[in-house]
Amino acid sequence: MIYLDNSATTQPKEEVIQSFQLASSQFFANPSSIHPLGGRVEKLLRTAKQQAAETLGVRSEEIIFTSGGTEGNNTAIKGIALEHGQRGKHIITTEAEHPSIYDTCTSLENLGYRITFLPVDENGLVSVKQVEEAIEPDTILITMMYVNNEIGAIQPIEAIGTMLKKHPKVFFHVDAVQALGKVPLKLTGSGIDLCTFSGHKIHGLKGTGMLFVEKTTTLFPLMHGGNQEYGVRSGTENVAGAVSFVKALRLVMEQYKQNIQHLTHLNEVLRKGLSELKDIVIHSSSNGAPHIINFSVLGVKPEVMIHTLSEKEIYISTKSACSSKELDESRILIACGKSREEAISGLRVSFSYDNTVAEVELFLKELHNAIKQYKEALG
C-alpha cells in the first residue's frame, strides 16, 4: 500500500496507540476524583500538559485539550465572538478556509456578526496589507488557517501577527492543523492569541487535539459544566486521548527538527515527475508547505483517477476529505482563480515523514499508466 492521503488523516503511530491503551487501562479514574487514584490521573494529565507546553514554548495554562480541529476552531471563533461581541461584531477571514472556519463564521452572520471573507491570489494567499485594510473599528477577530489543507499555501502568519501588534484589541486565531510538524511555528510573542491543533494529522488518534489560548485571552465556553480546562471546555477530560496526543506531538516535532528536508525532497521528486507528464497542471505553489501538492489531470475525472490508483493500492484524494462527498468544484481552487474545469478536477497528494522516494516514483508511474489507460478507453 502506498498511502498519500496524509492531510486527510495519518496512520497512528504504534507508540501513540500504546500510550492510549496504557492510559485508558491503568489511569482510568476521573482526574477530578479526590482519592489517590484520581490524584494520579490528574497528575498524569498535568504532566502531559506541561510537556505539550514545553514542546511548543508556551505556558501550561495556555493549553486546552479538545476533540480536534473542528472543535478547536469553533471554540476559538465562537468563543471570541460571544465573549467580545459587546465591543464589536466584525470578523475577518479568507475565502480559502476549511469549513470549520468558513461555516463557523457564516453561522455567526445569523447572530448579527459581519464577516469579511478576504479574497486570495492564485497561490491561495492573502497579503498583510489586505488584512490590515480590512480592519475596522469594531473588528474583534481575524481567523485563518496557517497551511491550506487543499493546496498547501502558507499564509504570512508571522507578518500578520507582527502587524496586529499595532491593533491590540483584535484577536488573532490561527488554524495550524495542517502546519504542525511541517512548517515553522512560533507562538510566544508572535501576536497569535489562539491556535488550533489536531491529533490525527500528526499520527495521533482521531478525537484528540489542542487549542492554544494566550493567557490574557478570554473565551465564552461552548460547553458549560464542571469547569474542567479552566472552564473553557467542561466535561470529564479525555485523559488517554490527551496523553496520546502529547506523545504524537513530541514525536512529530522531533521528526520536524531532524527530517524536514526529507519532506522537501519528496515534494521536489513529485513536482519534477508531474511536470514531465502531459496534461497536468500543478496548483500548489513551490513556496507552499512541503507535504501537500494539488494538481489536475486535464480531461480526466478525478474520481476515476482515484479509483484506478486504488486498484494498485495507492491512495490519494480529491480536494479535502472533509468535503469530498460534495460533487461541486473546490471552493479553494475557485478562490485561487482557477477555471471550473480545473476546480472540479483537483487531486491532492499529501505526504508524511514515513513516505519514501520509491513510493513517489511508483505513484508517478502508476499515474502515468492510469492516464494512458483512461485516454485509450475513451479513444
Partner 1 sequence: MNYDHILIRYGEMALKGKNIKQFIIKLQENIQQKIKHFEGVKVKRTQGRMFVLLNGNEPEPIIEKLKNVFGIHSLSIAIRVENTEEQIKEGALYALKREANAKTFKVTVKRISKDFPIPSQQMNQILGGHLLANTNDITVNVHEPDVEVRVEIRKEATYITSGTIRCRGGLPVGTSGKSLLLLSGGIDSPVAGFLAMKRGVQLEAIHFHSPPFTSERAKQKVLDLTQTLTKYGKSIKVHIVPFTKLQQEIFREMPNDYAMTIMRRMMFRISERICEQEEILSLTTGENLGQVASQTMQSMHTINEVTNYPIIRPLISMDKQEVIEVSQEIGTYETSIQPYEDCCTIFVPKSPKTKPKREKVNYYESHHDFTPTMEETINGIETVKITDKTVIDQSFKDLL
Q: List contacts with partner 1 (CB under 8 A).
A: 18-19, 22-23, 27, 34-36, 39, 42-44, 47-48, 50-51, 54, 57, 59, 61, 162-163, 165-166, 186, 188-189, 230, 243, 246-247, 250
For Cα atoms 110, 113, 117, give the angle at the middle one, nearest 5 degrees: 100
Minimum gap (Å) between residue 31 Cβ and partner 1: 11
- Cα 150 to Cα 319: distance, rounded to the nearest angstrom: 5
- Rg over alpha carbons for the chain, rounded to the nearest Å, is 21
Shortest CA distance to 157 belongs to which of 146, 169, 143?
146
Q: How far is the CB of 270 from partner 1 (least distance, A)?
A: 31
Task: List the alpha helices (DSSP H) in the chain.
Answer: 14-26, 36-56, 69-84, 99-109, 128-134, 157-164, 239-275, 302-311, 331-335, 340-343, 357-378
User: Cβ of residue 168: shortest distance to partner 1, in angstroms?
Assistant: 9
Residue partners of 363: CB distance under 8 A and separation at least 6: 2, 4, 270, 309, 314, 316, 349
Min CB(340)–partner 1 separation in Å: 40
Of 220 and 230, which has the nearer Cβ to partner 1? 230
Residues sharing a CB contact under 8 Å with residue 198, sequence separation 6 or more, in sequence order = 68, 69, 72, 177, 180, 204, 208, 209
Catalytic one among 105, 195, 322, 336? 322
Q: Which is nearer to partner 1, 166 or 340 (CB)?
A: 166
Nearer to partner 1, 19 or 94 (CB): 19
Least distance between partner 1 and beta carbon 268 (Å): 26
Question: Minimal distance in Å, beta carbon 84 to partner 1?
Answer: 21
Residue with Cβ nearer partner 1 (11 or 162): 162
Residues making up the chain, counted from first to last: 379
Query: Is 195 among the residues known to form the active site?
Result: no
Q: How far apart, in whole angstroms, are the C-alpha atoms of residue 8 and residue 316?
A: 9
Q: How far apart are CA 99 and CA 115, in angstroms?
A: 14
Q: How far apart are CA 252 and CA 154, in angstroms?
A: 19
Instruction: Considering the complex, state which of residue 41 and residue 270 has its C-beta at the smaller distance from partner 1.
Output: 41
Q: Toward partner 1, which CB reaches closer, 23 or 336? A: 23
Residues designated catalytic: 322
